[in-house]
Structure 1
Amino acid sequence: MERDSDVMLDDINIDHDDQQSGDTRRGRINSLDFETIERDETGYAINQCNKWIIKPYRACLRVMGWYDLVNNPSPVMKLLRWIWVFFVSMVITTALVTQILSCFRRDQFELMPVTSSNKTIEVIRCNVSVVSIFVIPDLLLLTTYFYGIYLFWSGQEYLQNLAGQVFVQCYKFTTWPEPTSRRLINTIFFYLMLGVAYIVVSLAVRIAHAIVFDFFDGDVTVSWPDGGPQFSGGGKLVLVIFSLFGFIFFDAVYIMAIINYAIQSELNIYLLHALRIKVERREHKSLDAAIKDINKANAYLKVLNGKTATAVALIMFNLATAALDGVIILGDNTNTTEHTVVATFTAILWSLLVVFPFVQAARVTAACNGLLAAGPIIRGRPLQYMESPQLELDSFSIFTVSITMRAEIFAIPVYPWMAYLFAVSFSFTLLLLCQTGDYWYTEWF
């Protein structure tokens, strides 16, 4: 009986050991399965990022010559890229010259009747302020284009790294208002389509401008004062048509610089939002890990405030000048419906380009404030952090209070209240102009 009982005990121990080893193996398998699933989901998120963000964005950059024509280019493809850059720069430069000669720039002219040899003809008299109206904005536009080449040449993989980091942080979120990867894709794709739509609408407005102000009329002469050159007939028509062609490239430079800033701002916003949610839900292994992620986000933010913001700042002078000029011309219209409509659309288009980067910068600053506000909240020890050491909570709180995170343009911090103030001021100015100006739609106000 003792031997039988010993055997039975041994069998039970063996079975128990087998059960423990089986549970251990199953635990390892489950752990491996979880790691595999998580790795597959992360890979899927990065593939979606490359498909819906990186590839369309690079296609737009390649049109401007700001990115290699193909991935891993051969010496021949690199040469073709620089040939295309030379072609685009020559088109821009030539278009700038033709617009100066034809006075087809931001409505900087006056249409007036002139009597010559007992015949009254219409003359487009050009503005003599060549340096302030033509030369300085043109130099800034060319500088923006060549700075774009430098910007994307020195940091071609930066956007991909940033987008990949954002998608890895956001791929688990599925519901609104969480920063879901699907909503991010839709938003950035919308920005790209919005840029294309802006170029089309802007070209249509400029064609309407040429029609309304008789640039296509062969009997109207373009005249520079003080014995300057004059253009009429076919010569003037060639200048105007090539100027319209150049407007496409001008708007493309403006739009790509602004869309680049808008996309990187949106990626930073989603990254900051995701980190805030993960800190509040205690999804980091420790608060030290959260501090490391915030430092990474701050590094991306510094790049946004550095080279990317510089590219936008280069053209902000042009955009602000054109917007102000459009508002002034709107206030000194010729009392005709067609002229007023063209001037109104021109002012609106330029104003949108000025406002959009500031709005994005204000949203980035708001996202930074939301993330850093998590420090004092956690210091109050909500349920998620009741078991965390006091020293760790104090360190995280001090870190979030001491670090400075905000968006900057012109090296000037941009805060949300600035966007509200600008919107109110701009709306008040337009309302005041509409009430004091002699417009065909004044009675509506």
Structure 2
Amino acid sequence: MPRKANSEPDFFGYAELLSDAERAELAEIRDYLQREIAPIANAAWERAEFPPEAIGKFAKLRLAGYSYPEFGDGKQRSPLFPGFLSIELNRVDPSLAVFAGVHNNLAMGSIYGGGDQAQRDRWMPQLIGMDKIGAFALTEPEGGSDVAGGMRTTARRDGDEWVLDGAKRWIGNGTFADVIVVWARDVADNQVKGFVVGHDSPGVTATKIEGKVALRTVQNADIVLDGARVPEADRLQNIDSFRDTAKVLARTRGGVAWQALGVALRAYELAREYAVGREQFGKPIGGFQMIQDLLVKMLGNVTAMFGMVVRLNQLTAEGKAGADQAALAKAFTTTRMREVVAWARELFGGNGIVLDYEVAKFFADAEAIYSFEGSREMNTLIVGKSITGLSAFT
């Protein structure tokens, strides 16, 4: 009697590290996302428009509160839970997962980690309820990988206010976010500081970046700051240098590794489902050796990615993970993800370029995930310096 097929992409059972209650909660979230988000995702991606109804749908899940229990539902979950939640978001739609990640991790993480208690109390409840949406403005038109030392956006103290001048690029949620965390170099001490800037503040202009072929639903913006005034009360009080900014980025790089896993996992799922259902030469293509080779290589990458992100998460929770571990995880997982989505698209043949079969979206979106939060090359140099003690940065 033939053995029953194992369709589980978590082949080594990493989800068993979660509690029964957490797995049940994730199952409910998966069901909700399939009902409420999946039906609107592809059309939004094709139009390159953000579906505004998604905000209310995400707000009902209280997604923004899972990492900040004192401002959310007060329920303590394991450190692994947000990572598995990221998998569920990304297996439905990477673009909408990026929307949530920018809001939850970059914007809220900056305010939570860089603000004082008064600032947390002021902004976190509104952001957790998604009454206000956040964005994170670090990258500049002429500064991506070198933004730490080459930031051109400036902040000048003027009494009880700061005057911001400069430009930011690739700012997710930037066209409609209510609050934007802007990073600027203080002209007085040459140190990078963080500011919470209202989207509609005088001197702030956001323009949508058109023509993207990846993460099309994400509303990336060019933002110009022309004498924008920010009260001292809106300067993040616990940010004194780019080193403090880097702490936020180290956490989010780990988040991108989970995102890469979610994308690769879904591409593998789609490919496996297609392989057992698509017939050629009188039998399912999954019965051919070359197709099985592709599937096993995909599953191997997914399983290796699981091992790395789970361990990184555990080390982070124990306070033992540094920027070099996060950099290795980001570089490794996004590279493996890129392989998986390419193999998945290959398996689909011509159908792999049609949005109806979904894999085309994951294939395209992977390119953006591969590049943001530090390119593979930059993260490689971070790890290279760690393991040799020698800097290869030029």
**Which structure has more helix as a fraction of its residues?**
1
Report the TM-score when normalising by structure 1: 0.27
Report the TM-score when normalising by structure 2: 0.30
